[in-house]
Amino acid sequence: MLPGCVDLHTHLASTPTWTPLDDFAHGSRAAVAGGVTTVVSMVYQEDGSLRAGLERGLRDATRSIADFSFHVVVTDPSDAARDEIKDLVAQGHAGLKVFMVSPRFVERRDDYVALMRSAAQAGALVAVHPEDHAIVAARTAELLAAGRSGVEHFPASRPVEAEVKAVREAIDIAVQTGAAIYLVHLSSRAALDAVREGKRRARVFAETRPLYLYLTRERFGRADGALWVGQPPLREPDDVAAAWDALADGTLDTVGTDHIPHPRAAKLAAGVPFDRIPPGVSNLETMLPMLYSEGVANGRITVRRLVEVLCSAPARIAGMYPTKGALAVGSDADIVVFDPGARRIIRAAELHSACDYDPYEGWEVTGWPEIVIGRGEIVYQSGEITATAGRGRLVPRTPGPIAAGRR
């Protein structure tokens, strides 16, 4: 038995102009089928208000099977937005998100620094997408101007250099402000080296996502290469090896899915340049079994480390531990009965996401959840969802992340 997994990085909530393919109703089905009993979704600030975005997420989540919480993406770091943080944290909403790759971050850097200082004072965790806008914008413009718009050129548009520069800048801001930062979807050896150094200077937590543990940039040379477009792009084999090393030694605290799938037709639309391909893939249902199969069964990490990475560390970082992420008296009864000998071939048609393809289609996996229990209720058993939409509950988050343990 394992504790239910906690995924700190999903996109299940809507915006005023967009509804995800895997919303809370569909995405939480994939989550519990994969042993993920708690999801943290991004929600976007609306009309300048952090609370308005959060309230949209709460409405969307009334259809969730999994328990849930949120990071509020800050697109307007105004005085009014900063003034909202203290009350939101007091009410259990202790997570924000900042996209350094956005031009807004460059234009309003001082305001974002002030925002992170306010987050530090209130005890909110700040998730950070670390890619440097100037580098990405310049490389993208150069490639498109040269007629290099195919997906095979996508990695060159978002080079390792952009990730490393942003990681270092985010750490510097964390030192300056005292903010606790959660660096998401790290993909390269150089960025992970920067994180190791940064953890000695500030409260820095780091995540990778499944894509960067299993796949490399050679996928973009295929005719269907757009299926694997995410941000940052897939990297080199050496970067994959570095991610596994960082997962084992504690440099990486968690694996988060960044779950945001799109239909095959949307990913493969003819004539679409690489910068217009919708980024993101499905990962929720396969995160645990693939990490067990490729990590534990292949001797890269221990079962104890797997539990730390997928359960206890994300719960600690998010301020949910020990309610979530533990098998203990007083914790929620979130339990995965995991069969380490089960063998499955990944096929999208047999999974619970609304997406019509899976990035790991045909992958043979050893180990799969047999029964998943959320707060004492069986929500998944033997391939079937047994719970109804709407059973999920908001998980209040306490301020100030607890340092994750290392193995």
pLDDT tens digit string along 101-136? 999 999 999 999 999 999 999 999 999 999 999 999
List the single range of 68-82, 209-223, 391-405 with lowest mean pLDDT: 391-405
Nearest to 170 by CA among 232, 70, 98, 82: 98
Asked if the peptide bond before residue 399 counts as cis, ω within 30 degrees of 0, the response is: no
| 390 CB-contact burial (10 Å; exposed 0-12 / middle 13-18 / buried 19+) | middle
Cα 24 to chain centroid, rounded: 15
Q: Are 92 and 72 in contact (CB under 8 A)?
A: no
Predicted local distance difference test score (pLDDT) of residue 404: 37
- Amino acid letter for position 63: R
Q: Measured between alpha carbons, how far is 243 from 230 in angstroms, rounded to an integer?
A: 17
Predicted local distance difference test score (pLDDT) of residue 401: 62
Q: Are 39 and 318 in contact (CB under 8 A)?
A: no
pLDDT at 6 over 60: yes
pLDDT tens digit string along 182-214? 999 999 999 999 999 999 999 999 999 999 999
Predicted local distance difference test score (pLDDT) of residue 406: 33
| 19 CB-contact burial (10 Å; exposed 0-12 / middle 13-18 / buried 19+) | exposed
Q: For residue 138, give both structure tokens.
A: 């310049």
| 130 CB-contact burial (10 Å; exposed 0-12 / middle 13-18 / buried 19+) | buried
Predicted local distance difference test score (pLDDT) of residue 162: 98
Q: Measured between alpha carbons, how far is 207 from 200 in angstroms, rounded to an integer?
A: 17
pLDDT tens digit string along 262-310? 999 999 999 999 999 999 999 999 999 999 999 999 999 999 999 999 9
pLDDT tens digit string along 353-400? 999 999 999 999 999 999 999 999 999 999 999 999 999 999 999 997
pLDDT at 405 over 70: no
Instruction: Indicate the length of the chain as a whole number.
Output: 407
Predicted local distance difference test score (pLDDT) of residue 403: 41
What is the average pLDDT across 40-60? 98
pLDDT at 52 over 60: yes
Q: Measured between alpha carbons, how far is 320 from 401 in angstroms, rounded to an integer?
A: 9
pLDDT at 407 over 60: no
Complete domains list, the chain, with CATH: 2-385 (3.20.20.140)
3-class SS string, the chain: CEECEEEEEECCCCECCECCCCCHHHHHHHHHHCCEEEEEEEEECECCEHHHHHHHHHHHHHHCCCEEEEEEECCCCCHHHHHHHHHHHHCCCCEEEEECCCHHHHHCHHHHHHHHHHHHHHCCEEEEECCCHHHHHHHHHHHHHCCCCCHHHHHHHCCHHHHHHHHHHHHHHHHHHCCEEEECCCCCHHHHHHHHHHCCCCCEEEEECCHHHHCCHHHHHCCCHHHHCCCCCCCCHHHHHHHHHHHHHCCCCEECCCECCCCHHHHCCCCCCHHHCCCCCCCCCCHHHHHHHHHHCCCCCCHHHHHHHHHHHHHHHHCCCCCCCCCCCCCCCCEEEEEEEEEEECCHHHCCCCCCCCCCCCCEEEEEEEEEEECCEEEEECCEECCCCCCCCECCCCCCCCCCCCC
Average pLDDT, the chain: 97
What is the average pLDDT across 79-104? 98
